[in-house]
Amino acid sequence: MANETVKGLSVNAKTLIIILLFVNVGFASKMIKKYYDMKDAGYIREKTFHDQLEQRVMKAFGSMDVLNKMVNDITRQKEDAEKIAESFKEQGEQLKLVNKKLEDEKSRMEEEKARLQREIWETEDSLSLAKKTLSNKDLTIKELMKSLEALEKENATLKKQLEEHSKTPGAWSLPRQ
């Protein structure tokens, strides 16, 4: 038995270690093989999916060139749509500015309209007052005209009387003092 032991470890321990080492190496090689099999299966699945997609495209569009052309057209249309959207956005901002200016102008015009309405009312009031004044003056003038006519009639009557008295010189005489 003394020959069977090697420094530090017995033959049974070494055998056990060697068996465990083979088991671990075997397990590791099995796992590596399984990893590569799964990797290959995944690649095959991915390749199969890509092939199926390509076949669908071929059925739908006829060829990959047609698909690529359509993708390029769609990309170009998207870029054009983005440019148009940007243009609309700029126009929207310009319209907002124009609307704001219009609102400001509208409020200014409303103020001007109110000011002019006040002036119209003041002018109407002054015209009404002037009309009343003219009416009063017209009445005064008519009264004065009537008075003037009455005075003229009285004057004419007095002239007539004076002429009648002057035709008859003896009928009247100047008082003597």
Give 44-100 pLDDT, tens digit per residue: 667 777 777 777 777 776 677 777 788 888 899 999 999 999 999 999 999 999 999
Give 124-149 pLDDT, tens digit per residue: 999 999 999 989 988 999 999 999 99
- Provide the mean pLDDT of the chain: 84
Q: What is the mean pLDDT of residues 167-174?
A: 60
Look at residue 93 in the predicted model and tell me its pLDDT: 94
The distance of Cα 177 from the centroid of its chain, to the nearest Å, equals 110
Q: How confident is the model at residue 115 (pLDDT cuts 50, 70, 90)?
A: very high
pLDDT value at 177 more than 80: no
Distance, in Å, from the CA atom of 118 to the CA atom of 121, rounded to the nearest integer, reads: 5
Give the rounded percent of residues in the chain with a pLDDT score beyond 70.
86
Look at residue 174 in the predicted model and tell me its pLDDT: 55
Question: Which residue type occupies 158?
Answer: L
Distance, in Å, from the CA atom of 57 to the CA atom of 49, rounded to the nearest integer, reads: 12
Instruction: Break the chain into its structural domains and give their ranges.
Output: 9-62
Look at residue 1 in the predicted model and tell me its pLDDT: 45
Q: 117-156 burial, b for 16+ CB within 10 Å, e for fewer?
A: eeeeeeeeeeeeeeeeeeeeeeeeeeeeeeeeeeeeeeee
Dihedrals phi, psi of 145, to nearest 5 degrees? -65, -40
Structure tokens at 164: 């009648």
Dihedrals phi, psi of 47, to nearest 5 degrees? -65, -40
